[in-house]
Structure formats: C-alpha cells, structure tokens
C-alpha cells in the first residue's frame, strides 16, 4: 500500500493546494494531509480550524485523511507508515528550500522519498500569505480559495 503525506501550514488552504491534493490522491493509495502546528508561530487559523476546512474541502476524495502534527516531518511520516512526501513547486524560488529538506530528510529516513508536483500555471502566483493579505483588506478572494474558505476568511476579518 502506497501511503503519502502532504504536509503544510494550509493557513488557509487555497485552490493551488486543492489541485495538488487531487492530483496526488490519484497517484497513491492513501494520502494523509499533515497540517503543521508550529507552536513558535501564530497562524491566522488554529490547527483545528485548518483541519476542519481541509476536511470539508476534501469531502469528495475518498482516500484522503487530514491530521495535524507538531515537530519533525520525518517523525510524522513514520507515524503514518508513509514512504512518500508530496510537495508542490511553484517557481524556482521554492526549489532550494525544498531540496534542503528533501535531502536532509532522506539522510535521517532513507526509505522516504519526496515527490514534487509542479503547480498548474494558473496557481503559480498563489500562496496562503497573498490570500491572507487580500482578505485583510477586504479584497475579493473568490478566485483564490474554495467558497467555504472565503466565508471563513470574511468571518475572521469582520
Ligand atoms: P509551507 O508552510 O509548508 O510552505 P504551505 O501551506 O504554504 O506550507 O504549502 C504547502 C505545500 O503546498 C508546499 O509544498 C507548497 O509548495 C505547496 N503549495 C503552496 N501553494 C501552492 C500553489 N499555489 N500551487 C501548488 N502548490 C502549492
């Protein structure tokens, strides 16, 4: 059974993330979306809120499970009995950071491989931080996120 983990902050989940989730879910038997709870950062949405939004967004995808984790990704990947980590690449600027993590993770956990999916071009500009910035200024975020996420963002900033 091929189990993969797609880790990230997902603060909040965007259409770019959803695209990666749908494509990765077709490639593996089981996809765990790992929502990172980083206690040294203050996210806009709590880990619980981010897990809930992802659960609603991924409702129609049968082989996807949403969990949150703290600490090292390699430990979470082993806990999930996964051997694949999925990451999205938007531009060359993502590459150096991702390469460092992929290589260091393989030293610690040689059975683990990182699978990079290149973003669909219509999402290559899109990041959670751009979405948060638009939302904070009451901008139109409907092109960027699923409708329920747009609703939650409006509630946050009202
Ligand atoms: P992180 O804090 O790990 O960067 P993010 O939630 O921003 O978490 O992103 C999680 C993963 O999704 C990363 O691999 C990132 O490159 C990828 N990703 C983010 N935005 C997009 C997008 N618009 N298209 C494709 N992949 C994306």
Instruction: Give the position, in ligand 1's atom list, of the atom nearest the Cα of 15.
Output: 23
The band of 105, judged by pLDDT with boundaries at 50, 70 and 90, is very high
Tell me the per-residue pLDDT of 47-64, one tens digit each, with 9 for 90 and over: 999 999 999 999 999 999
pLDDT of residue 92: 87
SS3 at position 126:
coil
**Span 83-106, average pLDDT:** 94
Average pLDDT over the chain reads 96
**Catalytic-labelled residue, pool 9, 87, 128, 152:** 128
* CB-CB contact of 46 with 7 (8 Å): no
Indicate whether residue 8 lines ligand 1 (CB < 6 A). Answer: yes
**Span 2-16, average pLDDT:** 98
On the question of pLDDT at 41 being above 90, the answer is no
pLDDT of residue 158: 84
What is the arrangement of strands in the sheet containing 30-36, beginning at the earlier edge strand?
Answer: 64-69, 30-36, 3-8, 84-89, 113-118
pLDDT of residue 93: 86
Phi, psi of 142 (to 5 degrees): -60, -30
pLDDT of residue 22: 98
* CB-CB contact of 47 with 75 (8 Å): no
**Span 29-38, average pLDDT:** 96
Strands (E), the chain: 3-8, 30-36, 64-69, 84-89, 113-118
On the question of pLDDT at 40 being above 90, the answer is no
The band of 5, judged by pLDDT with boundaries at 50, 70 and 90, is very high
On the question of pLDDT at 108 being above 90, the answer is yes
Instruction: Give the position, in ligand 1's atom list, of the atom nearest the Cα of 128.
Output: 7
128 assigned to active site: yes
């Amino acid at each position: 059974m091929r189990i993969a983990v797609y880790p990230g902050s997902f603060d909040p989940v965007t259409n770019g993330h959803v695209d990666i989730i749908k494509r990765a879910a077709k490639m593996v038997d089981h996809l765990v979306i790992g929502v990172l709870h980083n206690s040294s950062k203050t996210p806009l949405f709590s880990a619980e809120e981010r897990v809930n939004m992802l659960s609603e967004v991924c409702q129609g995808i049968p082989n996807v499970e949403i969990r949150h984790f703290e600490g090292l990704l390699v430990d979470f990947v082993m806990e999930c009995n996964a051997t694949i980590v999925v990451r999205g690449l938007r531009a060359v600027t993502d590459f150096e950071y991702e390469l460092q993590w992929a290589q260091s993770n393989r030293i610690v956990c040689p059975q683990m491989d990182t699978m990079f999916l290149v973003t669909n071009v219509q999402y290559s500009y899109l990041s959670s931080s751009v979405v948060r910035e638009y939302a904070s200024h009451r901008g139109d975020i409907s092109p960027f996120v699923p409708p329920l996420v747009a609703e939650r963002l409006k509630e946050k900033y009202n």
